[in-house]
Amino acid sequence: MYQVSIKQLLALSLFSALLAGAIAACIVDRGEVARIESAVIADPSVATDEQNNIEVYRAVSPGVVNITSKSFTESWFGVHPQEGTGSGSIIDDQGHILTNFHVVRGASQLDVQIENEKYPARLIGTDPDNDLAVIKVNASRNRLTVVKLGSSEGLQVGQKVLAIGNPFGLQRTLTTGIISGLERPLRDPSSRRTIEGAIQTDASINPGNSGGPLLNTRGELIGINTAIYSPSGGSVGIGFAVPVDTAKKIIPDLIAKGYVAHPWLGISTLPLNRRIAGAFDLAVDEGIIISQVYGGSGAAAAGLRGAQARETIYGGIVLERLGDVIVSIDGQRVKNTDDLQRALKGKEPGQTVQVEVLRNSNRLTLPVRLSERPQDPR
């Protein structure tokens, strides 16, 4: 018969106690893990963020429309229809919809889908400078969900934003992100216009999102999604929106007049570079050359002078006489056409600006009364 000594019994008891403690510790650790996991799942910040996405989408998405534009081009082979799509936001109970100019440009027919119903739309007003347009549908008020216009003043990098639109025709798609940058210059290479102060976001924006709203967490429109930077053509997390404060300033004119009255000096220009500056012995190599002064304009009345040029047999232009070189407006330095646009921003037709020019190595400051720039074709 096997017998256990007192010493062996004590050792066995001690081992059993240690083993029980280890098992209890493991149970406590597993319980702690479960408690932590439960706390993460029930984290109010996680639940609140998700709920915010849901609430904003439910409230705003019925006011985001799908816009289809149709145009026709002629060729040797006949007339060819072309179709494009974009997004827009209903901005009042009269059926006015805010979108991008490039979404409706050249359209001979516009159709708008509000939830599951399609309506014909007509163009009300356009502003190519800010790539904005207003169109209108005749729909009953109970079919119109108005997207509230917020403010783009005081926005912060890192602030959460939401975008709703129709990328690739997928209606009322929601994406989220943050504000990645502010005051970005957004240049359109085809028109050579620059939109100042654009909002940069990493919220996914793709073709079809154009004209749709960029929203804050209160569901207020703070920007109009306009462009993306993408080598591939799809979203890479660099999108741009026109600030809503820009839109709020011009919407009344777009609805009332169909256009926005932009200030105009009454000139066309050429860039100044070191080669031209050296050829004419100029003391500066930055500024813009007045190539033409239009009759009846403020520039003509002020005595600004344009260049004299001739075209070569190869299609080039040779300057025979240099025009006035604009170096500043109202004390604001002008190095290129973007600077000229910034110097005139906020001015109104009828105002007078002080234009500093270089003429035959002499600096002159001439008062020029701004006129209304001729409208671009729609």
Which residue, among 210, 255, 323, 264, has the nearest Cα to 96 in the 3D structure? 255
Q: DSSP 3-state assignment of 315?
A: coil
Q: What is the pLDDT of residue 6?
A: 42
Assess whether 92 carries a catalytic annotation.
no
Q: How many helices (H) and strands (E) does the chain have?
A: 7, 22
Q: What is the pLDDT of residue 376?
A: 64
Among the listed residues 69, 102, 111, 127, the single catalytic one is 102
Chain-centroid distance, C-alpha 138: 28
Assess whether 111 carries a catalytic annotation.
no
Residue 367 tokens read as: 């008062």
Specify the CATH number for 16-260; select among 2.40.10.120, 3.10.450.100, 3.20.20.70, 3.90.1150.10. 2.40.10.120
Among the listed residues 210, 297, 328, 371, the single catalytic one is 210
CATH class, range 263-372:
mainly beta
pLDDT tens per residue across span 70-105? 987 666 655 667 788 999 999 999 999 999 999 999
CATH 2.40.10.120 in the chain is located at 16-260
Judge whether 119 and 102 are in contact, CB under 8 Å. Answer: no
Q: What is the pLDDT of residue 272?
A: 86
Judge whether 97 and 134 are in contact, CB under 8 Å. Answer: yes
Q: What pTM does this model have?
A: 0.78
Assess whether 102 carries a catalytic annotation.
yes
CATH 2.30.42.10 in the chain is located at 263-372
Q: What is the pLDDT of residue 12?
A: 44
Judge whether 189 and 244 are in contact, CB under 8 Å. Answer: no
Among the listed residues 111, 127, 129, 131, the single catalytic one is 131
Q: What is the pLDDT of residue 230?
A: 65
Which residue, among 317, 334, 344, has the nearest Cα to 263 in the 3D structure? 344
Intervals of the chain under pLDDT 50: 1-12, 14-15, 17-19, 22-31, 33-41, 378
pLDDT tens per residue across span 246-291? 999 999 999 999 999 999 999 999 888 888 888 888 888 788 999 9
